[in-house]
Amino acid sequence: MSIVIKVPAVGESITEVTIGQWFKKDGEFVEMDEVICELESDKATFELTAESSGVLYTKADEGDTLEIGAVICEIDTEGKEQEASQATAVVAAEEQTSTASSPAPSKSTGEVKEMHVPAVGESITEVTLASWIKSDGDYVELDEIIAEVDSDKATFELPAEASGILRQVAGEGDTLEIGGLICKIEVTDGAPEASNGATGNAASTATEDKKTTGNETYATGHASPAASKILSEKGVDPATVKGSGKDGRITKEDAEKAEKAKPAAPAAAKSASKPAATDVKDTAVKGERGERREKMTSLRKTISRRLVSVKNETAMLTTFNEVNMKPIMDIRKQYKDKFKARYEVNLGFMSFFTKAACIALEEWPAVNAQIDGNEIIYHDYCDISIAVSSPKGLVVPVIRNAENLSFSGVEKEVVRLAVKARDGKLSIDEMTGGTFTLTNGGIFGSMMSTPIINAPQAAILGMHNIVDRPMAVNGEVKILPMMYLALSYDHRIIDGRESVSFLVRLKELLEDPARLMLGI
């Protein structure tokens, strides 16, 4: 029995994908849920897993573009692992014998293939060359990954458009517009032929490596985009990290565990053996005064541009209030274990603030509106944007129709979007839209701030850290956990009465969670 595997739907606006690479070969035996290939869209990269155990029969090659729902491969569930392994071994042996007996000498065709930055999304006008995977002068195969480029949305891999000698035009860190020249490939017939001695040594080395390391692919020793970002921030050389992913690929978990190499012990010992300096001037001279320069990423430049435009194009004003968090903290303390056991998610503060914001927005619709030219658009739904700090910078995914979600529904959406943001897998659709934004600087220890509006929205609520403070309650001084709230709003469509009333209503709902539960 054969199972047909089709290209899955990977996003509302994505209609086709490209096969980046096959991790398993045609005729190989695969286990259920084993990753068999990578699919690339104009937004991100996805992994395709086997839906059953059996022998794999591919229906498309690397580099092929397939529509959503098209057949990509079949799995013969009755096929045996031993037969598949033998068939693969025979094919590999024939290929090796053929290559050894009749090597094809490299011959230049005289053609030079220019590679330009491809279009990677409707709103993306430029990219940054993150890293070259192949060096200048290297021989590259057709569809082999030669570089990684960063946009303000995601990281993309660039495959070679021909087989031949790579000639780099742009350098790492360069920013290129869509359509800009990134490299050239001097097209050749076959790979360059090495000398007999070198060939023999290379074959011997390759044989030894294959015995010790198994099958090596492009993924071997190569960091995923998320892992590459983490290693770069840590200052860790990917060559020093051992990958635990498929075929030795360096995963995000490997990058998080990686530590920067410590200074050489002899140098430390030599320094320790020196007598303590008595001359203050000499000590000052030896102090480290290092500095480094880094180009802004496309995402950081986009954030900077948008924040400046909001400050210049809106009449932004901020109003403040404070809320007693004790009632909510008491509820969480009493029910958090039962909530976690039933819904398999923690009961956090975000669900309380999201639900309270939805009720207040329905009562004060101007806070949930936006300006479009000479018109004001009022929304009868609440798409709540949640500001999330990711390894690449600030992103703002959206919780759709939050007014219809339960507390557990909100918490699950927050966790889902936060994990995707951390892994750099948020789609464009998940980050667009939104009618009102919540940002929680309190998790970093912020006491007070004036958040900047997330255009084209009209308002944003800033949450801050919870601090025990003495408060006057019915003529008595009590120590209560208090949080400052800040509402930044566009004064062009939101008046002071509406902004202050919205914040007061929010305070009432948070300080009396029973009203929040009942929606009154």
Which residues are identified as catalytic?
Answer: 491, 495
Q: What share of the chain is helix, strand, coil (3-state, %, to 5)?
A: 35, 30, 35
Q: With contact defined as beta carbons under 8 Å apart, do 143 and 163 qualify?
A: no
Three-state secondary structure string covering 171-212: CCCCEEECCCEEEEEEEEECCCCCCHHHHHHHHHHHHHHHHH
Residue 36's closest CA among 16, 18, 51? 51
Burial group, residue 307, by CB count within 10 angstroms (0-12, 13-18, 19+)? middle
What is the distance between the alpha carbons of residues 456 and 176, in angstroms, rounded to a whole number?
28
Strands 384-386 and 436-440, how do they pair? parallel
Residue 415's closest CA among 477, 483, 344, 352? 344
Helix 407-422 / helix 349-363 crossing angle, nearest 10 deg: 110
Residue written as token pair 């082999």: 144
What is the distance between the alpha carbons of residues 30 and 480, in angstroms, rounded to a whole number?
59
Report the alpha-carbon angle 351-352-355, nearest 5: 80
Q: With contact defined as beta carbons under 8 Å apart, do 231 and 256 qualify?
A: no
- Report which secondary-structure segment, H or E, holds 127: strand 126-132
Structure tokens at 200: 């023999």
What is the distance between the alpha carbons of residues 354 and 347, in angstroms, rounded to a whole number?
13
